[in-house]
């Protein structure tokens, strides 16, 4: 039986944390930390996990990007470190997938997600909602591309999708990120901490 699962979202200037036993105890919160995230996050983690302890956590989910380079890197490093020290699985979840799941509706078949990137580019992905509601399947994985190429990709789908724009409120999707990881957990997936890798999309020097 699952004890608790913990999720952290750091790809934007906001820190999103969530914890749940997927039965009768769940909580989440978001804080705007901006450039202080590297200095303050550990204390927020310590305070947020209470009254549970880290030994109560059976797996961790982390937003792997796309998003800000520094925040994404910090979140993935922390999740990998916790996973290694606690010897528990670490699920690296796409920022775009979490946003798609958070904004899904009962009528959705395909959800296209776009998010602004640097230098006039876009991050884009297309997800199919699994019919039984048990998650998402990436039919076009997260990629950085020009608006023109993105429009061509969408045109190929003949309108058989709903487009959502991930422009704000991304940290609040930490609960959806945790749900997606839990669905994978239920399917028996147990990714090692080494498998949790960030997705930057663009070179950080120019980001």
**What is the predicted pLDDT for the residue at 101?**
96
Phi-psi region of 51 (alpha: psi -120 to 50; beta: other; left: phi over 0): alpha
Does the pLDDT at position 207 exceed 50? no
The upper half-sphere exposure of residue 61, i.e. CA atoms within 13 Å in the direction of its Cβ, equals 29
Q: Is the pTM of this model over 0.95?
A: no
58: CB partners within 8 A, 6+ apart: 2, 3, 4, 5, 88, 89, 185
Reference 141, options 127, 156, 159; nearest CA is 127
**What is the predicted pLDDT for the residue at 106?**
84
Question: For strand 122-129 and strand 110-116, is the pairing parallel, antiparallel, or unpaired?
Answer: antiparallel
**What is the predicted pLDDT for the residue at 75?**
96
Beta partners for residue 32, in sequence order: 14
pLDDT, tens only, 87-141: 999 999 999 999 999 999 888 899 999 999 999 999 999 999 998 878 999 999 9
Provide the token pair at 31: 């804080």
**What is the predicted pLDDT for the residue at 205?**
45
Provide the token pair at 117: 């990137």
Task: Read off φ and ψ for residue 26, nearest 5 degrees.
Answer: -145, 145
* Structural domains in the chain plus CATH codes: 4-94+169-206 (3.30.420.40), 96-165 (3.30.420.200)
Beta partners for residue 123, in sequence order: 115, 144
Radius of gyration of the chain (CA): 17
pLDDT, tens only, 33-88: 988 888 899 999 999 999 999 999 999 999 999 999 999 999 999 999 999 999 99
**What is the predicted pLDDT for the residue at 134?**
85
Q: What is the mean pLDDT of residues 3-8?
A: 97
Query: CA distances (Å), 104 to each of 74, 95, 151, 164, 207, in order?
Result: 28, 14, 21, 9, 29
**What is the predicted pLDDT for the residue at 203?**
57
């Amino acid at each position: 039986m699952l004890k608790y699962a913990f999720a952290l979202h750091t790809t934007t200037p906001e820190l999103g944390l969530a914890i749940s036993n997927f039965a009768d105890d769940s909580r989440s919160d978001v804080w705007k930390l901006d450039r202080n995230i590297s200095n303050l996050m550990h204390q927020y983690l310590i305070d947020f996990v209470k009254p549970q302890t880290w030994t109560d956590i059976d797996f961790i989910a982390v937003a792997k990007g796309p998003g800000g380079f520094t925040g994404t890197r910090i979140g993935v490093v922390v999740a990998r470190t916790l996973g290694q020290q606690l010897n528990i699985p670490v699920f690296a979840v796409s920022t775009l997938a979490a946003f798609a799941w958070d904004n899904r509706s009962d009528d959705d078949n395909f959800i296209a997600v776009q998010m602004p990137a640097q230098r006039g580019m876009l991050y884009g992905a297309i997800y199919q909602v699994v019919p039984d509601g048990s998650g998402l399947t990436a039919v076009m994985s997260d990629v950085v591309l020009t608006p023109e190429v993105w429009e061509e990709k969408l045109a190929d789908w003949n309108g058989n999708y709903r487009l959502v724009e991930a422009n704000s409120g991304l940290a609040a999707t930490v609960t959806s990120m945790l749900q997606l990881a839990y669905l994978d957990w239920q399917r028996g997936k147990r990714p090692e901490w080494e498998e949790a890798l960030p997705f930057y999309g663009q070179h950080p020097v120019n980001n």
